[in-house]
């Protein structure tokens, strides 16, 4: 009788552990789905599921056991709240990457590369090649700064600040975090691309004046390759100076993500 009872107890413990992991997988899975680099269409769904369950299993061992859930309205509201918190955290970090893609679109218009597009793995739509370049640079810096470890810490702290089953303390602040950071992300993307935009504007103005002064030289045909060459040189110089602004943008993103559960 004793081995049988031990087996039953182990089975109950196993189901309890699975329930705990699934409860934590709601918030973590929603954040991973909205996250860049991980939540894009370039990552297979099974890989995202494995990452979500692995993080949920690891973090559930460090967090208190969630309350017993039943089939009632309180459980439904808890699930919706967990989805909302996870999506808000992932969306804020995704907006930081969108700032890089916005900078790439502005630079590509000045260089005349707006027609060169490719499939965006994040959204599945077409975007300029330079937007993809900025996206990849932001992704490399994200892992170089150990921001993926900071993300795990952020998810762990979110459960301490807002445990499972706890209502959101300030709904108005929760709803205003993402729009507030959106304006900051647009400003960061514009400031990142502004030096290249101004330089390319000067080059285009110079060729415009040359076209009016000496049209027989056909400067319009020379303007595109020269603008492309100057733009590539400026991007090479910009790549050496991107570490500081991108790091500050990620810091602002994590601060905004922490404000979601504050």
Alpha-carbon distance 150 to 35, whole Å? Answer: 14
pLDDT score recorded for residue 166: 83
Alpha-carbon distance 27 to 100, whole Å? Answer: 26
What are the pLDDT digits (tens) for 167-176? Answer: 888 888 888 8
What are the pLDDT digits (tens) for 102-132? Answer: 998 888 888 877 776 766 665 666 778 888 8
Segments making up each domain of the chain, as ranges: 2-260
Q: Are 154 and 225 in contact (CB under 8 A)?
A: no
What are the pLDDT digits (tens) for 239-257? Answer: 888 989 999 999 999 999 9
**Is residue 93 pLDDT above 70, yes or no?**
yes
pLDDT score recorded for residue 77: 87
| Cβ contacts of 107 within 8 Å, gap of 6 or more | 130, 193, 196, 197, 200, 231, 235
Alpha-carbon distance 58 to 138, whole Å? Answer: 27
What are the pLDDT digits (tens) for 218-240? Answer: 666 777 788 888 888 888 888 88
Q: Quick one: pLDDT band at residue 188, thresholds 50, 70, 90?
A: very high
Report, as an integer, the average pLDDT of 147-164: 91
Query: Within 13 Å and on the Cβ side, how many CA atoms surround 127?
Result: 21
Q: Quick one: pLDDT band at residue 3, thresholds 50, 70, 90?
A: very low
Q: Distances in Å between the alpha carbon of 122 and those of 58, 78, 92, 135?
A: 27, 29, 15, 9
**Is residue 4 pLDDT above 60, yes or no?**
no
Token representation of residue 252:
């602002």
Token representation of residue 37:
């680099």
Residue spans of alpha helices (H) in the chain: 2-34, 45-60, 73-111, 129-144, 147-161, 171-213, 219-239, 243-260
**Is residue 262 pLDDT above 80, yes or no?**
no
Greater confidence, 88 or 210?
A: 88
pLDDT score recorded for residue 205: 84
Helix axes 129-144, 147-161, angle to 10 degrees: 70
């Amino acid at each position: 009788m004793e081995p049988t009872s031990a087996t039953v107890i182990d089975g109950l413990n196993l189901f309890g552990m699975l329930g705990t992991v699934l409860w934590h997988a709601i918030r973590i899975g929603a954040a991973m789905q909205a996250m860049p680099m991980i939540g894009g269409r370039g990552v297979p769904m099974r890989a995202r599921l494995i990452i979500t369950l692995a993080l949920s299993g690891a973090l559930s061992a460090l967090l208190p056991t969630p309350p017993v859930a039943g089939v009632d309205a309180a459980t439904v509201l808890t699930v919706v709240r967990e989805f909302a918190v996870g999506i808000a955290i992932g969306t804020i970090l995704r907006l930081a990457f969108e700032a890089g893609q916005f900078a790439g679109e502005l630079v590509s218009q000045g260089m005349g590369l707006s027609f060169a597009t490719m499939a965006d793995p994040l959204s599945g739509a077409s975007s300029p090649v330079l937007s993809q370049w900025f996206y990849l640079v932001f992704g490399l810096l994200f892992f170089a700064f150990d921001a993926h470890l900071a993300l795990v810490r952020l998810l762990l702290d979110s459960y301490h600040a807002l445990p499972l089953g706890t209502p959101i303390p300030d709904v108005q602040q929760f709803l205003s975090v993402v729009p507030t950071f959106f304006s900051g992300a647009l400003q960061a993307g514009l400031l990142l691309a502004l030096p290249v935009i101004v330089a390319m504007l000067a080059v285009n103005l110079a060729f415009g004046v040359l076209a009016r002064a000496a049209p027989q030289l056909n400067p319009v045909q020379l303007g595109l390759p020269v603008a492309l060459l100057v733009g590539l040189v400026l991007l090479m110089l910009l790549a050496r100076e991107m570490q500081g602004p991108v790091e500050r943008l990620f810091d602002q993103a994590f601060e905004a993500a922490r404000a979601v559960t504050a």
